[in-house]
Amino acid sequence: MSKTLVPAGTLYRGREGQWSWVAHRITGVVIFFFLLVHVLDTSLVRVSPEAYDAVIASYKNPIMGLGELGLVAAIVFHAFNGLRVIAVDFWKQGPRYHRQMLWGVVGLWAVTMIAFSIRHLSHVFGG
Amino acid sequence: MAVPIIESPRSGRVAPEYSRTSSSRGNFEMIAWLFMRLSGAILVVLIFVHLWTSMVAGDGINGVDFGFVAGKWASPIWQIWDLTMLWLAMLHGTNGVRVIINDYAEKNSTRMGLKAVLYASTVVIVILGTLVIFTFDPCPVIDGVAHVAEYCPTS
């Protein structure tokens, strides 16, 4: 096995801490851009009922349905991991258990997404 | 063997050039940090209920149309709910993107340009959303033609 050269000092420490931070940033940006679009599409209720219904109808197809699933997945992760960040910052034992809490976040996220997927996909694909 | 004494980083006087709180910025960054945590905790509740009412309850996404919005905003509770969600989410998201721009845009002009676009978008979206919530008309008259739904009063 060849040894790889590791830089002497880096702020990036890898593992749960860094990767949850990366995921929090990516999901945050995704949610923010959706929010801009979401306010714009909702604003069509001030144009006419038909304009609003037409745009919402274009959301009601399988591809957008899967996109909504991805959006909710991003929101649920960002929400649960955000509560973990609050616990790390304000709970005395938070920094010590931040890894365990991340696996708790991932577990809760998986359970929530399984339940939501069953409900949402049955709406999207018939039923 | 003498143990070297290493002073705590925060002990003693901090030279002015190393001070983290410059006089011009005040404690804005600390307030922003605190706001992210407070608004985040509130947004978890606001958005989870929002997702439940629009995507899980009833017919889920299939039940969302103009009438659904009209039904919700007939109640001042949902108006305040959505208004709070709009403001908190936009400020939370804007601050998050501001931090990301500060982290990755190294050139001064790039950073300022990106933040100018960000703040302009935020102002437009927040004002637009607020106006839409408060000027919403469930039975609008468009070009002299009344939109009449079953919940509209018959004249």
Apex B73 CA angle, B68 and B78, nearest 5: 110
Kindly identify which residue of chain B lies nearest to residue A47, measuring between CA atoms. B142
What mean pLDDT value characterizes chain A? 89
The answer to whether position A82 is within a domain reads: yes
Tens of pLDDT, residue by residue over B2-11, are: 777 777 766 6
Which band of pLDDT confidence, cut at 50, 70 and 90, is reported for residue B125? very high
Q: Given a cut of 70, is residue A7 above it in pLDDT?
A: no
- Give the pLDDT score at B78: 95
CB atoms A46 and B135 under 8 Å: yes
Tens of pLDDT, residue by residue over B30-69, are: 999 999 999 999 999 999 999 999 889 888 888 888 889 9
Q: What is the domain partition of chain B in residue ranges? A: 30-137
Which of 2.40.50.100, 1.20.1300.10, 3.40.50.2300, 2.60.40.10 would CATH assign to domain B30-137? 1.20.1300.10
Q: Given a cut of 60, is residue A83 above it in pLDDT?
A: yes
Chain B touched by A45 (CB under 8 Å): yes
* Count of domains observed in chain A: 2
The answer to whether position A1 is within a domain reads: no
What is the token pair recorded at B45?
């509740």
The answer to whether position A122 is within a domain reads: yes
Average pLDDT of the segment spanning A106-124: 93
CB atoms A43 and B128 under 8 Å: yes
Same domain, A51 and A87: no
- Give the pLDDT score at B45: 97
Residue B139 contacts residue B89 (beta carbons within 8 Å): no
Tens of pLDDT, residue by residue over A21-42, are: 999 999 999 999 999 999 999 9
The answer to whether position A14 is within a domain reads: no
- Identify which has the larger pLDDT, A25 or A50: A25
The string over B62-73, giving b where at least 16 C-beta atoms fall within 10 Å of a residue's C-beta and e elsewhere, is eebebebbbebb
CA-based nearest distance B154→chain A, Å: 18
Chain A touched by B83 (CB under 8 Å): no
